[in-house]
Structure 1
Amino acid sequence: MSAESTGLRARIHRVRLAFRHWRWQRPFWAGLWTLLGGLPIVYFPYANLTLGQLTIRMATTAGSGSLIIGVLLFVLGLTMWFQSQVRIFAGVASILLALVSLVISNFGGFLLGFLFALFGGALAVAWSPGSPATDAPGGTAELPGDLPESGDLPVRHEVPAGPVVPVQGGDAYPAPVLAGALPEEETTEKNGRHRAG
């Protein structure tokens, strides 16, 4: 065993794989876009733009409303990450807050925060947890409890269905993918004709 396999590179590799495993189990990108949508909504009403001796303040009378909307979007983004069971509620709430921010907070943070929060909410509503792949079609598999010792994620094995081969009688059979052919009963039709090989 080399010193490189137990050093910094191996630890970074394990952390990256663990993060990827964590990210796949939740609507990660929906939460990230929602978090990013809250930032311009909160920032612009309290920011001062200085051009030479001229100071432009973009504060509105509803500055506290902008703060509340931005903080709620931030909380909803974290909820999508850590409580993915309520992702649909969080997504719908993000979309509604994005729409309200158009009126209350400088056109939703100059449309930047509005678009980010709207996109994040839509992603959260559309996301659904995937089912693990199995070797047998139509079967279910259990998720592993922890990462293997080698640090690699489980490999997904799928058996392709193969092309569909038409038969002269009009029926279609999937072409065999693995070595061997279909049983004799399936290759012969009722009228005695064989399917094209």
Structure 2
Amino acid sequence: MSPESTGQNEHNLTAYRRGFRTWRGNRPFWAGLFTMLGGMPIAYFPYADLQLGNMTLAMSTTAGAGSLIIGVLLITLGLTMWFHSIVRVFAGVAAILLALISLPVANIGGFLIGFLFALVGGALSVSWAPGEPKADEETPQDASDPLPTAGRHPENMPAESVLHGATVPQQQVGDHDAASGHDGGTHRAG
């Protein structure tokens, strides 16, 4: 390609990364990730065997099925936060409740690792709010006018102001304002 070419010079990885960044920005991504990371140790530890030299330490408990259910539900809630973010508040509250239930049921919440991840993920999901779409830019203000016209009192504005493309003449400072009962800002002692 020549330097003058207008062809696409981006690498596919860069385009994929930009697309992923856009996808991630439209949903509670980190909340879902933390919730899924919290569900994994809660579901895994009751079925794991720890090898210490020649000794095998089995961590399976009578609540192994409960731990598996809590872990799978947390992973499902994390995926729900990603792919159906409209129910993010429900998913966050459910993740917090499941994290709290995992303390007595699932080996102290997956040895506190799963509990903390699920608790943080649920809190992030409840607190996440979608961003505001960018509004269309209004007509630019005159460069010599440092203050916008919307917040200023009409008496302090120039003789003519622009209002949505149409010029509107302002009152002259001595004209009588019938609606307010005073004339142009001067007070008369009477």
TM-score, structure 1 normalization = 0.69
Correspondence list, 1:12-27, <5 A: 12-27=13-28
Q: Deviations over 1:132-170 (max 9, x none)?
A: 122547xxxxxxxxxxxxxxxxxxxxx9xxxxxxxxxxx
Q: Which amino acid is 2:122 matched to?
A: G
Provide closer, same or farther for how the CA distance between residues 97 and 6 of structure 1 changes in structure 2, counting only shifts above 3 A.
Answer: same
Q: 1:31 is matched with which residue?
A: 32
Question: 5+ residue gaps in structure 2?
Answer: 159-183
Q: Which amino acid is 2:79 matched to?
A: L
* Cα distance between partner residues in 2 of 1:82 and 1:43: 24
Question: Which of 144, 150, 156 is residue 186 of structure 1 equivalent to?
Answer: 156
Q: 2:54 is matched with which residue?
A: 53
Q: Which amino acid is 2:40 matched to?
A: L
Q: 2:64 is matched with which residue?
A: 63
Secondary structure in 2 matching 1:49: strand
Question: 5+ residue gaps in structure 1?
Answer: 138-158, 160-176, 192-197
Q: 1:124 is matched with which residue?
A: 125
| Identical-pair percentage | 59
Provide closer, same or farther for how the CA distance between residues 73 and 179 of structure 1 changes in structure 2, counting only shifts above 3 A.
Answer: same
CA offset at residue 190 of structure 1? 4.6
Alignment RMSD (CA, Å): 2.6
Provide closer, same or farther for how the CA distance between residues 14 and 178 of structure 1 changes in structure 2, counting only shifts above 3 A.
Answer: farther
CA offset at residue 187 of structure 1? 6.2
